Amino acid sequence: MKRITSFLRTRLGLPRDDHGYSTETVVVIALLVLMAAGAVAAISETVQTYADSITL
């Protein structure tokens, strides 16, 4: 697999380094973003329920 990746990088002219971001870092950031989106969804649901209960 490394050989194929190396060949494609060379062929396409892609840089070899990943500018300091490893795959693990990208995965952790993606998980944190998903958790944040879940928190926003839960909070917005609570606020929406509260807003719907207000009568004018």
Q: Check residue 13 and report its DSSP letter.
A: T
Taking only the tens place, the pLDDT of each residue in 31-48 is: 999 999 999 999 999 999
Chain position carrying tokens 């795959």: 23
DSSP state, residue 55: -
Place of tokens 């998980």: 31
pLDDT value at position 56? 82
Cα-Cα-Cα-Cα dihedral sign, residues 13, 17, 3, 30: negative
Is the Cβ–Cβ distance between 9 and 16 less than 8 Å? yes
Percent of the chain surpassing pLDDT 90: 45
